[in-house]
Structure 1
Amino acid sequence: MNLLENIREAFRSVKSNLLRTILTGLIIAIGITSLVGMLTAIDAMKAQIEESLSGFGANNFDVRSKGFSGGRARSSGIAPKNYPNITYREATEFKERYNERGVSSITTFVSGSAEVKKGSKKTNPNSRIIGGDDNYFLIKGVAIEKGRNFSNVELSYGNNVCVIGTEIQQTLFDDTEDPINQYISFYGRRYTIVGIMEKQGGVGGDSGADRAIIIPILNARNLDSRGSFRYTITIAGQDPLRLQYEMGQATGIMRSIREDGVGMEDSFEVVKSQTLGESLEEIAGYLRIGGFGIGFITLLGASIGLMNIMLVSVTERTREIGIRKAMGATPLRIRQQFLIEAIVICVMGGILGVIMGIGIGNIVGNTVGPGGFLVPWVWIIFSFIVCIVVGLVSGLIPAYKASKLDPIESLRYE
């Protein structure tokens, strides 16, 4: 009995035990559906979110102080150098010069542990105070849900106005109360609320973006009594293909402002901003790990069920195995026969599981927003490889047991 005949016999055996094959295939199909379905849904949702947020920060880059974590940098790994931070004057001068080429925004981080008060109500000391200009919300991709942006007068004079996050609103104001033009206070100063940012949410319980308060950049500078604030300029790139060129232009402008001599290294950093897409890819990676875990557990149960059914099949076909051995079938061919049967059942279940997984995954993914139909070829190929591996593992013990049966004893089996 050659390999081709074993394949034919596997299909004949599958056909003769159709109900058992269908039930076994469904076990595998459920495992593959959970695996392909979850991975397809993750990719589909990621594609939809990336499409809807494609313009937010995709081509942004930052000009910031050297050694942003501590202001120190190493030159050739020999001796540490201490570079002065970018000052407010340098940041504003850069923005004025770069306005001829594109849009830029100056920001500074005032505090991440501020306590905000309104009358007798107050927040936990974990509110973020950020100084920003008129382009902050445009470049950061944050919409103002209610109210307005800062006016030119408020920015020019550094007025005590602010735009707050939804968590600040929920903590300090009642549901029926309109926060616009109301007063809140922090750092001993009273600020007028002119806008409320849309809810942004967070990952892993971190909703810091919703408990942020944005104030005019000049007002933030006035809070810097020790002159220790770091100012970052974020530039919105015009063309992804020209991003390196635009970063080079920004480098030249800042070198001129900071008077970095010819041949000297930059006393600042120009780095590409982390985009929403990159953040989303990181989140999707964790979700894929979870999808793999759930799919693996399901397929493990399916493989145990398949192995049990194949062992029952060996017992039922003991006399048939004895006849084949009496006619000259070698233990290798007997093993091949049962392994091929297990693989055929797995592949048939895998085909059904892939079809169901793609359908369910796209339905779930498109609940995020209307979009196209995603066919995850990588996961399809991967699922069929998994099916073959599961078939081999599940059929190995039954096939080995069948190949070791004594032909005489097998012929006498009733």
Structure 2
Amino acid sequence: MWANTFFLAIRAIRRNLLRSFLTVLGIVIGVAAVITMVTLGNGATQAVRDQISSLGSNLLMVRPGQRLGPGMGGAGAPAFKEADVEAITAQIGGLKAVAPEVRSGVTVIANGKNWATTVTGSSDAYFTTSNWTIASGRIFDDEEQATGAAVCLIGATVKRELFGASSDPLGEQVRIKSFSCEVIGTLAPKGQAAMGQDQDDTIIVPLRTAQRRVTGSTRVNTLLVSMRDGADPARITAALTSLLRERRKIADGADDNFSVLDTAQIAQTLSGTTQLMTSLLGAVAAVSLLVGGIGIMNIMLVSVTERTREIGVRLAIGALEREVLMQFLIEAVVLSSLGGLVGIVLATLASVGLAGLMQVPYLFNPSINLLAFAFSAAIGVVFGYFPARRAAQLDPIEALRHE
């Protein structure tokens, strides 16, 4: 019985292929939209996490002033000193590395070309705190850091613009303001940061070199504190705050004149925002599934009206109501399930293509695909039941009289 009912339903669908296609179109669009939105949202969330992690592993950023970001309240707040780095390293446990950082925008010249970039002055601990990988060459040695030697490492963007992507700049000279530094290493590419900055557009020199020859000041703008895996960020943040308050002679009850920012919290906040937007977009896209379900119900009601005599003949020769009900219900479920399968295929193709255009990773999520397919099949049951019930309850005599 079940097989016969199924084949009758399939034959009815094949008899009106164009109408069947238009019926499932709403389901196709709905399923494809939901899966694509959720997949791209998950990819964007992962991209944000990767970009934040590229700033440094388990990283705390400490800067003068009471807040970070645009309009930060650092005006008038005393800068940090190299001695602060030594004190943090010696007195706080659970740390992997601590690095001072100063930055300045400059125009550099090399190989007959010039390029506007950012010069960063720091110690060799900076490569650990900021997750830099050395592509070629080496980092600073102790003597170069102590004496402020004229040496530097360059990022992938600077290398490409000044020397060409395929060249080897080791040993070449790069002129920064009034001095020239020798390129002792190149940095592996990191790409864009979470806020869109090109992290590879940088030149790194020893801290004292930057202070003496670039900024002309002993100020340290930022302290980068990298925690070991498994360390308690809250405990280290509290210890760091207490130590800096003591060293900066901040009275009890007075506000801090520095800010401590945990990059893990930034990643969590931004990821939460993108996940919320993904949920909202997925919910909006899911509305089209309901519209598709209404379309199925509408077409099935029209089909019942058109096939009234056929239904009357089946009932008159002994077909049971449940068999007629099952036939129309199977038609609705097959249509909606077919729409779900086509929607999954389209969503996969669209997600791969859009992920490449948006430069976010494509993350295949089997659960959302299965959920969307199950929901599309459920829509067939829910919206197909009323037309099927109506067909099953037709009076055979009245149905045979129908023109």
> What TM bracket, shorter-length normalisation?
0.5 to 0.7
Q: CA deviation at 1:324?
A: 11
Whether the 8 Å contact between 1:321 and 1:402 is mirrored in structure 2 is yes
What pairs up with 1:269-308 in 2 under 5 angstroms?
A: 269-274=259-264, 278=268, 281=271, 285=275, 292=282, 306=296
Partner residue in 2 for 1:120: 112
* 1:352-367 aligned within 5 A: 352=341
Structure 1 residue 230: Cα displacement: 5.3
SS in 2 for 1:221: helix
Instruction: Letter of the 1:244 partner, please give it.
Output: A
Equivalent residues of 1:109, 1:130 under 8 A apart: yes
1:261 correspondence with 2:262: no
Q: Verify: 1:61 aligned to 2:53, yes or no.
A: no
Partner of 1:144: 134
Question: Residue type matched to 2:8 in 1?
Answer: S
Deviation string 1:93-151 (CA, Å, 9 cap, x unpaired) is 43443476523333435234x3221142112x3x2222222111212212111111111
Q: Matched residues in 1 for 2:166 and 2:344: separation? A: 50
The alpha-carbon distance between structure 1 residues 182 and 285, as it changes in their structure 2 partners (threshold 3 A), is farther
Distance 1:196 1:271, change over 3 A: same
1:87 to 55, 80, 83: 80
2:119 alignment counterpart? 129
Give the one of 90, 96, 101 matched to 1:103: 96
Q: More displaced, 354-363 or 376-385?
A: 354-363
Measure the CA separation in 2 of the matches of 1:43 and 1:305: 30
* Partner in structure 1 of residue 8 of structure 2: 16
> SS in structure 2 opposite 1:195?
strand
Match of 2:337 among 326, 333, 348: 348
Whether 1:224 aligns to 2:225 is no
Corresponding residue pairs, total:
376
Aligned residue for 1:192? Answer: 182
**1:302-360 CA distance string (max 9 Å, x none):** 6698568536523432335779999xxxxxx9xx9999567633663477579979999
Give TM-score, length-normalised by structure 2.
0.68
Q: Distance in 1 between matches of 2:132 and 2:266?
A: 12
Whether the 8 Å CA contact 2:290–2:379 is kept in 1: the answer is no
Matched, 1:384 2:374: yes
Shift of residue 187, structure 1, vs aligned partner: 2.3
Q: 2:138, 2:277 → 1: CA distance?
A: 37
Greater CA deviation, 280-289 or 207-216? Answer: 280-289
**CA-based RMSD:** 5.4
Length-normalised TM-score, structure 1: 0.66
Residue 128 of structure 1: SS of its match in structure 2?
strand
- Work out the CA distance in 2 between the residues paired with 1:324 and 1:195: 84
Consecutive unaligned residues in structure 2, runs of 5 or more: 317-321, 354-362
Tell me, in whole angstroms, the C-alpha distance in 1 between the residues paired with 2:123 and 2:170. Answer: 19
Mapping for residues 23-62 of structure 1, pairs under 5 Å: 28=27, 32=31, 35-36=34-35, 39=38, 57-62=56-61
**Contact in 2 for aligned 1:146/1:196 (Cα 8 Å):** yes
Matching residue's letter, 1:122: N
**Distance in 1 (alpha carbons) for counterparts of 2:389 and 2:134:** 68
Letter in 2 for 1:115: T
| TM-fit CA distance, 1:16 | 1.3
Code of the residue aligned with 1:178 in structure 2: it is D
- The code of the aligned residue for 1:218 comes to R
Q: Deviations over 1:226-261 (max 9, x none)?
A: 67x552222222244622112222122212211223
Q: Tell me the percent identity.
A: 25
* Structure 1 residues 282 and 242: alpha-carbon distance in aligned structure 2, compared to 1, 3 A threshold: closer
Report what 2:307 is aligned to: 317
